[in-house]
Amino acid sequence: MTITALIAEDEPILAATLAATLGRLWPELKIVAMCPHGQAALEQALALQPEVLFLDIKMPGKTGLEAAEELADEWSGPRPFPQVVFVTAYDEYAVRAFDNAAADYVLKPVSDERLARTVERLKARLKTEPARPDGGALETLMEQLRALTPAAPAPAARPERLTLIRAAVGNQVRMIPVTDVVYFEALDKYVNVVTSDGEALIRTSLKELLPQLDERVFWQVHRGTIVNSGCVLAATRDDAGKLTLTLRHRPEKVRVSPLYAHLFRQM
């Protein structure tokens, strides 16, 4: 049976070597796309829906981890979520994380022996994968990504906790207690600060903002959204398994990335 795969690798020689090795070890595997960066991998994966992805972790523009996270957000089937194998050159942290997560990776330069083990693991998982749109592959990927997410800085290294936000609204500077914020939303080079009675823009990024917030209160639920957990009324799962949040004092719904769905598991 033919299995389809996509390779995302910004070094053409390594990509060709990986494809050639896979061709020898797994003749039934058909490479349907070779992508030079993460954005192309995301677009081609959504368009072609291959069964296996080989994603280089470090690529220009969008890393393999970012591409995988966005793919998990946007995947709507009908095929099960693909098996994902991350490829890394020397990132020992990633190797340890994958070991702990009992998932898979391929270390560059690609070794035939190591890749053969990956092929056998993939074959076994493809045989046992449940026939649901997300399947077990998505959960495996989320475990991988959570294991690779950098740990929060130690308390001593944390910046001072934010209590008041000074946001420009027209010709005024609005003073917003951080406890009044319902959620923060990334907008290009700005963050939209959403309260029960309005919105305001601040020039920063969610990445810079997150360490300044109380992690017991403010939860990142998507790569572009941080919510005040005290303002979450309910988390609702749709037929495709995607979660959305209903908030106090705001009419809009907020999407939850599969990477953060574990925050809303029942106690």
Compute how many other C-beta atoms are within 10 angstroms of the C-beta atom of residue 233.
11
State the pLDDT confidence band at 152, using cuts at 50, 70 and 90.
Answer: low
Two structure tokens written together for 10: 């910004």
Sorting pLDDT into bands at 50, 70 and 90, what band is 77? low
Tokens 């898979």: give the residue: 104
In the chain, what percentage of residues exceed pLDDT 70? 85
Cα(98)–Cα(123) distance, rounded to whole angstroms? 19
Does the CA dihedral 206-104-8-262 come out positive or negative?
negative
Q: Which two tokens stand for residue 69?
A: 């996270």
Lowest mean pLDDT among 73-77, 122-126, 193-197: 73-77
Contact call for residues 144 and 82 (beta carbons, < 8 A): no
Between these two residues, 114 and 38, which has the higher pLDDT value?
38
Is the Cβ–Cβ distance between 19 and 13 less than 8 Å? no
- Flag the least confident range among 16-20, 31-35, 141-145, 239-243: 141-145
Give dist(CA 58, CA 66) in Å, integer: 10
* pLDDT exceeds cutoff 80 at 146: no
